[in-house]
Structure 1
Amino acid sequence: MKKSILALLCIGVLFLAGCFNDPVQDDILDYINEKTTTAAQLESQAIATYGSVSGGNYQDDQTLYDALVNEIIPDYTKFIDELESVDIETEELREVHEIYLSGAEQQFNGFVKIVEAIDNQDASMIDEANLMLDEGRENINEYLDKLNALAKEHDVEIEKK
């Protein structure tokens, strides 16, 4: 009799331990803490450099052009390569990650379009490029919103840096 009660208790403990295993939670933690850290650094670097030569910091076309060709586009290319190489285990997180990748690609295309616009001295292409950058930012913001919602749904707290 004692053996059967002990066996049932062991099965019950294993079952409960299995209930606490959340593959999406594990995937999110790994994604944020391990798999996207290099990508996040490359993105931050590229965006900071772009901010230093655009908008209120714009000096002239040549400065913007040089930064795009020599720093921003190469860093952003590495960033996208990093995003593409991320192995994601769960479909829920994979769908969110695809939004990030799409936004990053749109931003990259915007940067390339600015180079093309400067080469051709075509102001209408700058407008197109800015639209691409805006759409890319919107997708990246959507990604962040969905990642935060998915994290909350799976009891993961994302620290803001």
Structure 2
Amino acid sequence: MTPGSLGPPPADHAIKTNRMSPPGVAMTYAAEDRDTALAETADEAGTYAIGEFTNDRELLILDLTRLPDVPSVFTELPDTIGDPRPQLGFLHSISREISRPIARDDRVHVEYVPTQIVTEYVRTAVTIGKRKVDGIRYNSSRHHAATALVLFADQSNLILGKDERPEFNRTDDRWLRL
């Protein structure tokens, strides 16, 4: 197995609707352990390849698994911070939607559209300290109390071996290593 075969698919092979990416948008879905990786990707018994990836730079991840509680409407808030309830309520809601189990089949799941829109917004428009967000950490929908990640990495972000690296596909933003 090679990074190119285990990593994110080429854009023309990203043809299924996924939790956070519509057809045609390649992203890297990962988990923090083998059992969760299998639970998130495998529907039936079989033989599967699992790769361990590392990143070659510090990543900025939106962590939806450790959100602060939404303050009660009776909680007094300092005037200096504004009211965090609407934003926190939204983040809690989108976190639940991302982690909701949905049947895996060949249907186009419209249930994914809201999470895909939010993901695309985070991927393309959100910056923190002039840095773009590199991914989202979320609760696994199929492995209780485990977490998974979507990294905004496609094949151009893979660090490939010389035998896998097409000369026409050069980029300075290779950071995902198998």
- With normalisation by structure 1, the TM-score equals 0.29
Higher share of residues assigned strand: 2
Which structure features the higher share of helix residues?
Answer: 1
Radius of gyration: which is bigger? 1
The TM-score normalised by the length of structure 2 is: 0.27
